Amino acid sequence: DAGVTQSPTHLIKTRGQQVTLRCSPKSGHDTVSWYQQALGQGPQFIFQYYEEEERQRGNFPDRFSGHQFPNYSSELNVNALLLGDSALYLCASSLRQRETQYFGPGTRLLVL
């Protein structure tokens, strides 16, 4: 039973660039949520995708956008990168929106 997978594991970008992070949910799950975890802090909710639509969004600017594909995998896109976007980006999947979320290993993004 494959768990949640994310790619890449690490990424280095410069300010102003754009980045795309990818997530494949746990087998059988149809909902994907994205979180940003700054160093030394707990994760913060970015948004949730279900049935290929953004269902809920946290307090993040429009520079953060996403997509969910028919196979339930998801992408997180961040435009015009800022130094403050450096963080661990976690993807979590669940069966339906209301069920327990299971996390992937994360993508560590460093913005220089």
Stretch that binds another protein, among 16-24, 61-69, 70-78, 87-95 (CB under 8 A): 87-95
Distances in whole angstroms, Cα of residue 15 to Cα of each of 25, 34, 46, 85: 29, 22, 20, 9
Least Å distance, CB 35 to another protein, is 8
Subset of 15-54 contacting another protein (CB under 8 A) = 31, 33, 35, 40-45, 48
- Structure tokens given for 86: 């450096």
Show the 3-state SS of 35-53. Answer: EEECCCCCCEEEEEEECCE
For another protein, the binding residues (CB under 8 A) are 31, 33, 35, 40-45, 48, 55-56, 58, 88, 90, 92, 97-98, 100-106, 108
